[in-house]
Amino acid sequence: MEEIKGFFEAEELEIFGISGAEPLPEEESQFKNWIALGFQGTMGYLERHAGKKYRPQELLPECKSLIFTGLNYFVPRGNLPAGHAAVAGFARGRDYHNVLGKRLRRIAGNLRESFQDERFYTFVDTSPLAERPFAARAGVGFIGRNTLLIRRGLGSWFVIGGIATTLALDTVRPAPAGNDRGHAGSCPPGCRRCIDSCPTGALFAPHRIDASKCISYLTIEHRGVIDPNLALSAGGWIFGCDACQEVCPFNKPVESTYVADLLAPRAGESLSVEDVLSIETDAEFTERFAGSPVMRAKRSGLVRNACICAVNLGLITLLPVLEKLTSDADRVIAKQAAWAVKALGGG
């Protein structure tokens, strides 16, 4: 076990937890009910993955253990410049899928050399596996009322990933974070800060979320025009949303990340709405955001989001740019721009 833990320490991964790979039938049933209610929005892949999310053996045949780790991505948010819209904290630097994924792949390579008869499969948020409940079982944290994984000392300001393996390992609980004496727990009794702060009402009850209304879903995953009522509730978030995290009592104080790649200002903590509206081609978008999580939205999504932010931030001076975009070749941009022009009182 110490050898395996040493591979993680060599990659500066301080969180190290192991659980068995037994399925989670209760969570699977809840998830299928969630899908039946349509809370997944247009994320069809969630329904396609339903049979695999809570069964690690569907991900890796004969899987016996799940090893979890994580990276702190927190950077304190300053006051945004005028005309800028906010970027969610996880997306400020390099894409965490690559940052954490590369470390895990190197660890898996070392494990294959040490345990040549076993198999290892790395995952960072892009596999079918429902990582949060399994990570909670490994003691990495607990699922908060905002549905995020919370770890005392880090709050929810960290991303997780891990390795599924056919190697049978004993359960390992992570060491406490910072000076904290515990790594598990629960939300304070009666606390509703995250629910009450959700701008669109996506968090409608403890541990209950309608993802189709979530600003992170709307600005990142949704590919079409955004419903006017939801758009007007999205505030100045241009990519992702931290509203439910910023009010969580577990999220203050938290030390800033030490990971240079996550500190690198790829997108930064905010983007100029005018600059984003001025991106005219996919090639220009890629040149600006290559290596950033913002790539997920594509030009179509990010410029669409900027149209909404222009309205919610009252940027009337951008009407000429928005009017030009009503003729954009991208139909989603053109329609959202037309809505924005009307909302701002333009012709």
Q: Which residues are catalytic?
A: 125
List, in order, residues 6 or more apart from 14 with CB less than 8 Å away.
175
67 pairs with which residues across the strands? 18, 163
- For the chain, give the number of residues: 347
Judged by DSSP in three states, 343 sits in helix
Produce one character per residue of 168-183: b if its CB has 16 or more CB atoms within 10 Å, e if not.
ebeebebeebeeeeeb
Q: What is the dihedral of CA 49, 52, 58, 60, to 10 degrees?
A: 80
Q: How far apart are the first and last CA of the chain?
A: 68
| Bridging pattern class, strands 120-123 and 208-209 | unpaired
The alpha carbon of residue 67 and the mean position of all alpha carbons in its chain are separated, in whole angstroms, by: 20
- The helix/strand count (H/E) of the chain reads as 16, 11
Nearest to 135 by CA among 121, 156, 149, 153: 149
User: Quick one: which H or E segment has residue 271?
Assistant: strand 270-272
Residue type for position 75: V
- Alpha-carbon Rg for the chain, nearest whole angstrom, is 21
189 contacts: CB under 8 Å, gap ≥ 6: none
